[in-house]
Amino acid sequence: MSGHSKWSTIKHKKAKVDAERGKAFTRLIKDITLAAREGGGDETSNPRLRTAIAAARAANMPTTNVERAIKKGTGDLPGVTYEEGLLEGYGPGGVAIYIEVLTDNRNRTVAEVRHILSKHGGSLAESGAVSWMFEKKGLITVPGEGLDEDELLMIVMDAGAEDLTTEEEFFEITSSIDDLEKVRSALESNGVKVASCGLTQYPKNTVKVEGKDAEHLLKILDFLEDHDDVQQVYSNFDMDVSVMEQME
């Protein structure tokens, strides 16, 4: 089972629980704040902010939360200054791990991520060690109930999507970064509910892991996902579905 597809499905399920705790909103707010700080508060002229807002809307974040995050980013409201960063490492079996972080204390975050990796048989790597193994793309997930796959495929392909796959009860739609907003708009204009919308890192190749290596790797990914400063975690692992389902 491809690590990206199955892991993204598990993360989507986890996001439902995170949303109840407010954790998913916290990550989205950080994204919006940083995007507004770097490119301004007008989403029409700030593609990154537009993507962040689309992800927030897909997660049913209240408009007031979105507006407040934008104002914190533009300086109209006081807020914490976050630093964006990428951490790269290896998991058991030589699997690549690519981690996006937003933190107000980089040294603390690096130390804590290093601890998570080393505790379960992984290691932190130098910048550039694994980033070349991934390609950034747009990713939209759509609940599959009541949808015809052929009709959905026609909608998204006409809008510029690259691929559509089925992952349990969801459809995953991939696109280039530039076409992400156009695909999302096409879905919504056709009455298709968008469960999530954002950018992802797709592995260019995968590494098979089994047994204890697989179990330790999933623990690493789970602990990283739960870390407050970690925005996204990507990996190029490949393993049996049964192993992954044990963590759900």
Q: Give me the number of domains the chain comprises.
A: 1
Q: Is 209 helix (H, G, I), strand (E, B) or coil?
A: coil
| pTM of this structure | 0.76
pLDDT, tens digit, 9 for 90 and up, residues 35-85? 998 889 998 888 889 888 888 887 888 899 999 999 988 888 887 788 889
| Residue 87 within a domain | yes
| Residue 70 within a domain | no
Q: Which domain covers residue 222, as residue numbers?
A: 83-132+204-239
pLDDT, tens digit, 9 for 90 and up, residues 161-195? 999 988 777 888 999 988 998 998 999 899 998 88
231 closest CA partner among 139, 140, 102: 102
Spatial CB neighbours of 146, under 8 Å, sequence gap ≥ 6: none
| Residue 46 within a domain | no
Q: What is the CATH number of the domain that holds 97?
A: 3.30.70.980
Residue bearing tokens 């990996």: 235
Cα 103 to chain centroid distance, Å, stands at 16
Spatial CB neighbours of 135, under 8 Å, sequence gap ≥ 6: 201, 202, 204
| Residue 3 within a domain | no
| Residue 246 within a domain | no
| Residue 78 within a domain | no
| Residue 235 within a domain | yes
| Residue 107 within a domain | yes
Phi/psi region, residue 94 (left: phi>0; alpha: psi -120 to 50; beta: rest), is: left
